[in-house]
Copies of this chain bind each other. A is one copy, B any other.
């Protein structure tokens, strides 16, 4: 938004007309490529690479966005919520697009060298939570973080959780992922002294109500230092974890 102040300065200096300034304020920061307005300045303004939410877009739309960003040298780009078939279609159009099936994400361009302050620990209660965990882990790596993965550390077997005590105590941020009763973040939050980002998953059946049970558990956590993102939102947790890790 200093961009806003810059434009005002330009106007004052007479280097920019008012009409042009108004236009600039609106049209500049992104390229309209038809299906979406790609935000080319986002990296500078927001401190993050561009991420495309793949679920509501066709393979054709995704490929078009990827090409536009490659032309603008706005790489790397991450595409989330991308199923296998759509990814294959995108790869037809953009062969160097790299797909990670376990996390349902694809990346165009080089993974950055980690430049965060510490490590992000991605912890899950069960193996069924792995797709969400991989979305989180790959997103965090894409955003320049070193990631440690510990899956299947549910609270019903404390041995399994305590086996990861070193990793818990060494992390700078913890992403705790669980479905069903969603108790993992509460127990981890009691052990750790760093921020815990809780991700409820839709793993479960019956009264899990698509992740609602885990979501409510996490929001009501008796442990301090726990905040929550949407059900299955591995990306969201990773994004905030990365912000924290880069402070």
Contact = CB atoms under 8 A, between A and B. Distances in A.
Contacts of A180: 220-222
A60 B155 CA distance: 25
A45 interface: yes
A162 to B, nearest CB: 6
Interface residues of A, number: 105
- Closest 5 interchain pairs by CB? A56-B128, A206-B231, A183-B183, A26-B163, A213-B216
B155 A183 contact: yes
A51 B244 contact: no
B229 A219 contact: yes
Interface of A: 1-2, 5, 8-9, 11-12, 14, 17-18, 21-22, 25-27, 29-30, 35-37, 39, 45-48, 51, 53, 55-57, 61, 81, 117, 125-128, 152, 154-160, 162-165, 169, 172, 180-183, 186-187, 189-191, 193-195, 197, 200, 202-233, 235-237, 239-240, 243-244, 247
12 contacts: A8-B18, A12-B17, A57-B128, A156-B189, A181-B217, A181-B221, A205-B231, A206-B220, A214-B220, A215-B219, A216-B216, A219-B230
B213 A217 contact: yes
Copies per complex?
Answer: 8
Nearest to A242: B225
Contact of A207 (B35, B117, B215): B215
B229 A117 contact: no
A214 B213 CA distance: 9
A125 to B, nearest CB: 7
> Which of A11, A47, A57, A197 has the largest number of chain B CB atoms within 10 A?
A11
Nearest to A200: B206
